[in-house]
């Protein structure tokens, strides 16, 4: 999550709010105590409850570790929006293999990486 307008973290958070998401939002950003009305937590381990889904927007090199944290916290699904994996060449391919290995090891289902997310088309925009 990010308070900086135009960043992917801010856009995703804004989209969730604008779409009327009514569930709890648990923001993770160790550099901020809150973003808007929502508190930020320093890590996945610090969340007050286990979310059904994590949306990961972080530098590619941090994503495998984040997915490990998700699995250890009991979060079983994640959308990884971050880029810098297979499309970035051999180093990115290795990073993606590490990400997938960790997801499998910890029982986390992934959509992504480098994914734009999901959309419901049955709600009449």
Contact 13, 35 (CB under 8 A): yes
For the chain, count helices (H), then strands (E): 3, 6
Contact 89, 65 (CB under 8 A): no
In this predicted structure, what is the pLDDT of residue 84?
96
- Whole-prediction pTM value? 0.90
Where does the pLDDT of residue 4 fall: very low under 50, low under 70, confident under 90, or very high at 90 and above? very high
The whole-number average pLDDT for the span 4-27 is 91
Contact 78, 56 (CB under 8 A): yes
Give the pLDDT confidence of 57-79 residue by residue, as tens digits. 999 999 999 999 999 999 999 99
Contact 15, 57 (CB under 8 A): no
Average pLDDT across the chain, whole number: 93
**Residue the block writes with tokens 């308070």:** 3
Where does the pLDDT of residue 124 fall: very low under 50, low under 70, confident under 90, or very high at 90 and above? low
Residue 121 confidence (pLDDT) above 80: no
Give the pLDDT confidence of 35-57 residue by residue, as tens digits. 988 999 999 999 999 999 999 99
Helices 63-73 and 90-106: angle between axes, nearest 10 degrees: 0
Spell out the long-range contacts of 22-27 with Cβ–Cβ below 8 A and sequence spacing 24 or more: 24/49, 24/51, 26/51, 27/1
Where does the pLDDT of residue 102 fall: very low under 50, low under 70, confident under 90, or very high at 90 and above? very high
């Amino acid at each position: 999550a990010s308070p900086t307008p135009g960043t992917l973290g801010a856009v995703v958070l804004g989209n969730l709010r604008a779409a009327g998401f009514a569930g709890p939002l648990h923001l993770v950003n160790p550099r901020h105590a809150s973003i808007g009305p929502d508190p930020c937590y320093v890590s996945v381990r610090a969340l007050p409850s286990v979310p059904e889904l994590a949306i990961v927007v972080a530098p590619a090199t941090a994503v495998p570790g984040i997915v490990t944290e998700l699995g250890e916290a009991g979060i079983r699904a994640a959308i990884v929006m971050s880029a810098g994996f297979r499309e970035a060449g051999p180093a990115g391919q290795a990073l993606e293999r590490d990400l997938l290995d960790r997801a499998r090891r910890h029982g986390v289902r992934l959509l992504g990486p480098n994914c734009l997310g999901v959309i419901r088309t049955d709600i009449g925009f």
